[in-house]
Amino acid sequence: MNDIAFLDATAQAELVRSKQVKPIELVEAAIERIERLNPQLNAVVTDMYDIARETAKSKLPDGPFTGVPFLLKDLGAAYGGVRQTSGSRFTKDWISPIDTELTRRQKAAGLIICGKTNTPEFGLLPTTEPVLFGPTHNPWDTTRTTGGSSGGSAAAVASGMVPMAHANDGGGSIRIPASCCGLFGLKTTRARTTQGPLLGDSMSGLTVEHAVTRSVRDSAALLDATCGPMLGDPYVAPAPRRPFLQEVGADPGALRIAFSTASFSGTNVHADCIAAVKETAKLCEDLGHKVEEAAPKIQAPEQIIQAFLAVWASGNAAGIDRWAQAMGKTPTEDQFEAVTWQLYQGGKEITGGAYLLAVGVLQSITRQVAAFYEKYDLWLTPTLGSPPVPLGYLMEDANRMEGDLPRAAEFVPFTPLINATGQPAASIPLFWNDEGLPIGVHFVAPYGDEATIFRIAAQLEEARPWAHKRPPVSA
């Protein structure tokens, strides 16, 4: 079954639909790969093998991915009766009493959930190295980070354990690991997928739920199966004109694409990341698009960064207090990593008025950036400030507790802005550097316009395929 491992989820589902394989065969093969590869990667932290086997042998829903193995990130989407640690010693024994609506929709799409993947504590860092479970290793170079916070999911998909896996994104946590691991990673429009019934939104809309995938069509088909509001959601994304899967392969026309390589906060950007953007700009021009160097004019970037951090810290504090209330447990410093506790304390000190002022600043930047799209259809930037950094490098900052994270800020200077604006964006795996490390490029579309991202991504996937690339640690 290893020849099936690197087929995308759509192709695996077609094998089931045509009765060439049975769901239990796909599940057993995925379990075998997880068991064989996980000692090197530490991607999966909770196995659900018995549940997966039982599900595979039962009558499955008739969905786009019937019989396909899948993994949930151990943060966000909950599965009733299974532990959800969120990567923290504080919540390591929590058993979710219910499925979240997103999990219910994933199951209704026919996916068979085989386990849960590693994440930094509460998803706070752009590297997956929690104290609770230890670091996840990048299958392209096991000394390097997978990124975060969906690093376990990205390592699992890149290595061929499963064809796609759940991920979420509050500052780049889908796009960062997609870039580090050579995958397609779409951050959806704010409120495109529901966070119900447990949450209305998270961190004033900074976070979204979706997946990391091997192919563009898998991302589109999964979003078709899971998008849309749940009854009672506080707000919704604009409805798509047609199914997202129909955008994959559709003619994008001659798009107006702006590209830039400079970080709006002034941090350094690695030459490999700059080269990847410039090559992509040339490729887009060759494909008939109108490309020019430009970027939104962003006023007072330092004020924006501080506002983002205020909302981030407040959201972390609220999240921990929500967990504490649910578990009847008092948070104490010894139960958390240093940076988490620091953010928790800082978040609790932010007043309601200061929080709303910060939200107002982020809303103002949303209007500044939206105006840019009156002239352009897409904005192209590097996904990251550098190729995947060594494991431990970002944790040195996190463990210092000095109030800021300069290494993290330099590593992820592009993605958080788009969480603030709520726009859709994707990291596309078009380049590998001389060390054999993936380098993603980052396309950002207007609010509500995943369609254009799927069209350009599919065109680039055809022009410069990546599915044949396999990391040294793989099935």
pLDDT per residue over 49-58, tens digit each?
999 999 999 9
Active-site residue 173, yes or no? yes
Active-site residue 86, yes or no? no
**Which residues, other chains included, contact 230 with Cβ-Cβ below 8 Å and sequence gap of 6+?**
101, 194, 196, 197
Mapped onto helix, strand or coil, the DSSP state of residue 384 is: coil
Render the burial of 74-97: b for 16+ CB within 10 Å, e for the rest: bbbbbbeebbbbbbbbbbeebebe
pTM: predicted TM-score of the whole model, two decimal places? 0.98
> Average pLDDT, stretch 367-372?
94
Confidence band, pLDDT 50/70/90 cuts, at residue 33: very high
Q: How far is CA 252 from the centre of its chain?
A: 24
Confidence band, pLDDT 50/70/90 cuts, at residue 1: low
Confidence band, pLDDT 50/70/90 cuts, at residue 301: confident
Mapped onto helix, strand or coil, the DSSP state of residue 223 is: helix
Catalytic residue among 88, 149, 150, 204: 149
User: Is residue 401 predicted with pLDDT exceeding 70?
Assistant: no
Catalytic residue among 73, 107, 116, 187: 73
What pairs with residue 228 in β-bridges?
193
Domain range 2-463, CATH architecture: Alpha-Beta Complex (3.90)
Catalytic residue among 86, 173, 215, 263: 173
Neighbours of 396 (CB within 10 A): 9
Active-site residue 375, yes or no? no
Q: Are 229 and 236 in contact (CB under 8 A)?
A: yes
Q: Residues 260, 170, 69, CA angle at the centre, nearest 5°?
A: 105
